[in-house]
Amino acid sequence: MKNLIILLALLVVASLVIWSVGCAGDSGGDDDDDAECPEPNLDISVCDPDAGPFSLTIDNEWFPLVAGTQLVLEGVDDGETIRVEIDVLDETQDVDGVTTRVVTETEYEDGELVEVSFNWFAQAPDGTVCYFGEDVDIYEDGDVVSHDGAWKAGEDGAQAGIIMPGEPEVGQVFYQEYYPGHAMDSSEIAAFGEAIDVPAGLFEDTLTALDYNELEGECEGERKVYVRGIGLAIDEEAELVSY
C-alpha cells in the first residue's frame, strides 16, 4: 500500500512538471501580435540639403530615373484589378533648397482613377536616391476628395528620406519618409538574386526589400522587388508588365 501511494505521488509530480513546461512553451504564442518594425540603421543625413551637391542624373542601378521612361505594374488586390503607371517627367521641383526630379505615380482600381502622386527625387554624391516628398491627389468618381499622404521635406519638421542606398546591403534599414506623426515609412534590404517571373519577363538580377509603416503598425513587411537597370518590378500584388 505504501509503495502504491508513493507511485501515485510521483505520477502527480510528473504531471505537474509536464503541465508547467507546456504552459511555458505557450507563453510566446502571441509574439507576432507584438511585432515591432526593425529599427533604421542607415543615417538619412546623406539626404540633408547641406550634404549635396545633388544631381538630377539619377542612375542608381536599382532605382534609375531617366526622364521620359515609364514603368507599368498590374495585379489583383482584394478582388480589384489594380494598375500603377510610374512616369519619370522632364520636369523639376525645388524642395528644401534642392532641385528634384518629378516622378508621377498614377493608380487605377478596376479601371477607375483613384490616386495621382507627384514625387520628388534627387541623387546624393554617393549614389543614394533621396526622396523629398510628394503631392497627392485622391480621387473618387473623377473628383479630387483629399490629399492624404502628402508631405514635403523642409516643412513642419519633415526631412528627406532614402528611397535606395548608393551601395545597398542586406540588413540595411532606412527611413524612406521622415515626417514625425504623419509619414514614417521605412524599408529593409532583405535579399539579392531572387528569381522573378513577371509579365514583363524573367529576371534574376534583383534586390528584394521589405517596407514597413510604423505609424499604422504594419510591421510584417510589404515585399518589393527591384531589377538592376530597370527599377521596381514587384510591389506586393502588382507586377511589372512593361518598361
The residues, ordered by sequence, that sit 6+ positions from 136 with a Cβ below 8 Å of its Cβ are 115, 116, 117, 118, 147, 148, 149, 150
Percent of the chain with pLDDT over 90: 81
Beta bridge pairs of residue 238: 235
Residue 19, pLDDT above cutoff 60? no
CB 207 within 8 Å of CB 215: no
Which pLDDT band, with edges at 50, 70 and 90, does 104 fall under?
very high
Check residue 23 and give its pLDDT.
39
Q: What pTM did the predictor assign?
A: 0.84
* 172-195 pLDDT per residue, tens: 999 999 999 999 999 999 999 999
Q: What is the pLDDT of residues 112-129, one digit of tens each?
A: 999 999 999 999 999 999
- Model confidence pLDDT, tens digit, residues 56-83: 999 999 999 999 999 999 999 999 999 9
> Radius of gyration over alpha carbons of the chain, in Å?
24
